[in-house]
């Protein structure tokens, strides 16, 4: 095989497709004779050489994180590498089509089918989120559907890489898939797993209606709708959908992450009522009996009917018994069916071949009884995932679980804990209760703290908050650091061995003291510039040096240093000296409105008494002139004067200067007694006034007359028309 037919150690079979991030190939690993999917990631042309190196490093980090995800609904990453400047990853080869292709070919899917697909996606996302990995690009094109509608999620980690590339290059690269992004994602806010659940809500809406909930012309319009708009209920577009589904999708599409489902397990549980209907089960039961008695085989993993060669060895009675048994397994979600031979030993798993002799009776005329059921109650010592007969049921503890009576194998799995397994024989109508105490797996570290909820980092890398299970530490020594706001940082050394678990419990110590602040009642307290209420007050502060300031109207402010010691109380007695007052005189030519320390005091000339001593800000405003502002120092008991003459008229860009001749009108204004006229703040002189070339539209007219209140009115000017205003 030539060098061009290889990528690293992998043999290239054929090209499968191309996308914005690179090329996907079918390959073969000759070491173990396994088919793989090879994704070549395109990093060239995404920025400078330094930026490309940063992207390449991020690619290997993201791929390594995603490679730790081993789950039935997530495409497994086997390997990453670089060959001839090409960065690539080798992944599980999945035979199937993506959900985007199914939507394009089939349109909206039946609710039960769509709900089953979404529940599987939610299950896979929950597992990834438990391992602190957010997908960031959940969309139909990243969901592969294999035989029997089995889900495989792909492209974990690549969405984050795309985002990084977009932020580096700024142009020419799409950042994610905007129609499926959450409000926090389109705004560039921090993300957690609930962002993926929002994207999954968009996907679910599209699956059952054939339309996306947020559509529009252009990226800006779509982003605005994601942030602000609530879409039509799905049932409004598809009347066959129940109102209860609108509530589920509505919660998935909540604008605030706190209002969505907390994790994928909660969502999967909420979808359970929609995954099947009594009519569907009955139809399926009748179809199964008919198929089995007509000489065909059921593939119990995919629930599809396969043609088989008939051996003619069994009689009709055997076929009817087998049909009822297989129907029971199908209705209760079993993955495998076993046909028993005369001595009770299993003949073959997964499928069964039945004779083709014509039945002596019509099976459809015989009512098939529903299989008897029992209930399970499972309360493990830690949250875990329940598997029944090899199929994932979901998270436990949960409410009572109804399942078929008979023999079952129950398994509980939890990251970092040993597999718990038991074989049971559930009697019809019985309730079996289990409270297993899951044991830590060898090589796993469990870190707890008092109080709980403190941050944990291992060898300088954040891992989460206590209580925290660390199942993937390499054997050897590790430094564990626990930290929390107001707590003393604690450091411990762990030595991990592959043959025993480790439990580490740390009691945290408050890293704080108290400060008693005494001062004028109601004085504002600022600690290091942050408002902490009013005096008197007792504050809890971090250990160390702080600056405490007190301020109150009528008093001089004071700022003092304070040292807070762990577990001790310090007292700050900050008495404030009262402020004095003076008098301020303000004059201007012509008149103006006077503002003192941001407060309007009236037109000039004006004498303002009892002005607080110190720096005083004065502003003078006349509509026809540029505003004037100054600051003067006023001593207690003293007098300060501000006098100003306006000399430069303010140039205003008014609509009148931009309007055409056809858009201008004339204003004739008279007043008794006479006064000064202002139009849109511009002085036009004393009445009578003839104002020509006034732009059409609403214009504000103000007339100022000595000894009288200002006259103000809005006049509508019409182009080419003379408008008269007489004021008495």
Strand ranges across the sheet with 97-98: 97-98, 143-146, 150-153
b/e 67-99 (16+ beta carbons within 10 angstroms → b): bebebebbbbbbbbbeeeebbbbbbbbbebebb
Tokens 């990243």 appear where? Answer: 142
Sign, CA torsion 676/678/681/682: negative
Question: Alpha-carbon distance 295 to 640, whole Å?
Answer: 110
Active site residue 137: yes
Classify residue 51 by its DSSP letter: H
What are the residues whose beta carbons fall under 8 Å from the beta carbon of 473, sequence distance 6 or more? 443, 444, 445, 458, 494, 496
Q: Measure the CA–CA gap between 241 and 620, rounded to whole angstroms.
A: 67
DSSP state string for 158-194: HHHHHHHHHHHH-SS---S-GGG--HHHHTT----HH
Query: Catalytic pick from 29, 98, 123, 137?
Result: 137
Helix 243-252 vs helix 264-271: angle between axes, to the nearest 10 degrees? 170
State the Cα–Cα distance between residues 184 and 179, nearest whole angstrom: 13
DSSP string, 598-635: TEEEEESSEEEEEEESEEEEEEEE-TTB--EEEEEEE-
CB 534 within 8 A of CB 552: no
Q: Which residues pair with 545 in a beta bridge?
A: 563
State the distance between the two ends of the chain, measured CA to CA, in whole angstroms.
104
Contacts of 216 (CB under 8 A, 6+ apart): 222, 224, 225
d(CA 337, CA 390): 12
Tell me the catalytic residues. Answer: 137
């Amino acid at each position: 095989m030539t060098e061009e037919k290889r990528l690293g150690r992998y043999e290239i079979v054929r090209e499968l497709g191309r996308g914005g991030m690179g090329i996907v190939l079918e390959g073969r690993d000759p070491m173990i004779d396994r088919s793989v999917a090879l994704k070549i990631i395109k990093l060239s042309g995404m920025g400078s050489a330094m930026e490309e190196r940063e992207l390449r490093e991020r690619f290997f980090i993201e791929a390594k994180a995603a490679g730790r995800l081993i789950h039935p609904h997530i495409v497994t990453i086997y390997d990453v590498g670089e060959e001839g400047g090409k960065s690539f990853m080798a992944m599980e080869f999945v035979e199937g089509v993506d959900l985007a292709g199914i939507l394009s070919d089939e349109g909206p899917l039946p609710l039960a089918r769509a709900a089953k697909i979404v529940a599987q996606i939610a299950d896979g996302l929950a597992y990834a989120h438990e391992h602190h990995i957010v997908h960031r690009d959940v969309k139909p094109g990243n969901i592969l559907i294999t035989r029997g509608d089995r889900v495989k999620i792909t492209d974990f980690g690549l969405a984050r890489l795309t985002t990084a590339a977009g932020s580096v290059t700024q142009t020419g690269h799409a950042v994610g898939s905007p129609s499926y992004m959450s409000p926090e994602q389109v705004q560039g806010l921090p993300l957690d797993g609930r962002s993926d659940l929002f994207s999954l809500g968009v996907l679910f809406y599209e699956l059952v209606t054939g339309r996306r909930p947020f559509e529009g012309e252009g990226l800006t319009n779509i982003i605005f709708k994601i942030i602000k708009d609530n879409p039509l209920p799905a049932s409004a577009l598809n009347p066959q959908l129940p109102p209860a589904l609108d509530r589920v999708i509505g919660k998935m599409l909540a604008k605030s992450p706190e209002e969505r489902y907390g994790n994928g397990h909660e969502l999967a549980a909420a979808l359970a009522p929609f995954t099947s209907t009594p009519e569907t089960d009955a139809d399926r039961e009748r179809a199964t009996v008919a198929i089995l008695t007509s000489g065909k085989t059921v593939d119990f993993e995919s629930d599809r009917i396969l043609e088989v060669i008939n051996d003619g060895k069994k009689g009709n009675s055997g076929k009817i018994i087998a049909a009822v048994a297989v129907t029971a397994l199908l209705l209760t979600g079993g993955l495998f069916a076993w046909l028993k031979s005369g001595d009770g030993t299993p003949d073959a798993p997964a499928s069964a071949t039945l004779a083709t002799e014509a039945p002596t009776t019509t099976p459809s005329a015989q009512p098939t009884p529903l299989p008897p059921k029992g209930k399970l109650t499972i309360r493990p010592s830690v949250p875990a995932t329940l598997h029944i007969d090899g199929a994932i049921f979901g998270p436990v503890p949960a409410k009572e679980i109804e399942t078929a009576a008979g023999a079952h194998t129950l398994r509980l799995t939890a990251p970092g804990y040993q597999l718990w397994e038991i074989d049971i024989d559930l009697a019809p109508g019985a309730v079996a209760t289990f409270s297993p105490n899951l044991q830590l797996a060898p090589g796993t570290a469990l870190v707890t703290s008092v109080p709980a909820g403190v941050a944990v980092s291992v060898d300088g890398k954040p891992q989460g908050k206590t209580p925290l299970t660390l199942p993937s530490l390499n054997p050897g020594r590790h430094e564990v650091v626990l930290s929390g706001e107001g707590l003393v940082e604690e450091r411990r050394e762990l030595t991990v061995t592959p043959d025993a678990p480790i439990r580490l419990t740390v009691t945290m110590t408050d890293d704080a003291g108290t400060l008693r602040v005494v001062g004028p009642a109601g004085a504002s307290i600022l600690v290091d510039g942050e408002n902490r209420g009013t005096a008197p007050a007792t504050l809890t502060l971090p250990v160390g040096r702080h600056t405490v300031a007190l301020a109150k109207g009528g008093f001089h402010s004071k700022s003092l240093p304070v040292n807070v010691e762990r577990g001790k109380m310090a007292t700050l007695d900050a008495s404030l000296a009262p402020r004095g007052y003076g008098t301020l005189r303000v004059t201007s030519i012509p008149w103006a409105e006077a503002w003192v320390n941001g407060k309007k005091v009236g037109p000039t000339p004006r004498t303002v008494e009892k002005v607080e001593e110190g720096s005083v800000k004065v502003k003078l405003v006349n509509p026809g002139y540029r505003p004037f502002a100054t600051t003067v120092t006023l001593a207690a008991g003293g007098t300060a004067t501000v006098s100003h003459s306006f000399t430069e008229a303010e140039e205003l860009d008014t609509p009148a200067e931009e309007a055409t001749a056809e858009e201008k009108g004339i204003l004739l204004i008279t007043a008794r007694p006479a006064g000064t006229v202002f139009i849109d703040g511009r002085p036009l002189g004393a009445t009578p006034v003839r104002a020509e070339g006034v732009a059409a539209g609403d214009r504000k007219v103000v007339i100022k007359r000595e000894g009288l209140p200002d006259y103000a009115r809005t006049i509508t000017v019409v182009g080419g028309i003379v408008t008269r205003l007489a004021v008495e």
